[in-house]
Amino acid sequence: MRLDQVMNQAGLGSRNQVKRLLKSCQVQVDGQVERRPNRNVDPGLQEIKVQGRILTQPAETYWLLHKPQGVLTAVTDDRFTTVIDCLAPQDQAPGLYPVGRLDRSTTGLVFLTTNGPLGYRMLHPQYHVEKEYQVVVNGPLTQDHVASFAQGILIDQNRPCAPAHLVIEASGPQESRARLTIREGKFHQVKKMFLSVGVKVTQLHRLRMGHLVLDQDLAPGAYRPLKPEELDQLKHYL
């Protein structure tokens, strides 16, 4: 949430009064004077002081979900179960949404938050947030494919993807397994990249998004709050 909105909700005055507090250097975020009213902040992650008093506003919500197959990465849908439906009613906070998309057949890590600006920044190319996937394809993979992915695969009428890191775990004539790390999020990008080199993705599972790693013991459909160290690293996007 914007800093001026947090201050306004804390009852620190009108919009003009809040602006005066900021301009007069009476506001600190994590010990540093902050004068920008549009600074994205989270009182649950940061210490916000106004005239020496710490604000105790409600924190944003952050969940890590193991998305099952067949579930839609959306807030609402008339036909399909969504990632929001996987949460208990008391955990479905207003404004909660999934950061990025996995298609219905893809499983794995989905990050959900009420912090819109933070989610936007995690998807922005400027921040180079890596997404790591476990991939199964219906044909062989070779070191030539590794080199092609590192150079940048062409998809969608020869539009280049950014260089990606492919690690082959097992290769066979009918099926291969690999891990792929990308820093983009184009529509169906992973599947299109493998189609461009002559194989089709039959299983796709997201293992990691930035510093967020899917727990091996988190069952499909289960979710958890972020750990303290994960929350601390989110400050990079605020």
Which residues are known catalytic residues?
A: 103
The DSSP secondary-structure symbol of 72 reads: B
Give whole-number Cα distances, 124 to 31, 100, 136, in Å.
Answer: 27, 10, 27
Q: Residue 143 corresponds to which amino acid?
A: Q
76: nearest Cα among 97, 99, 62 = 97
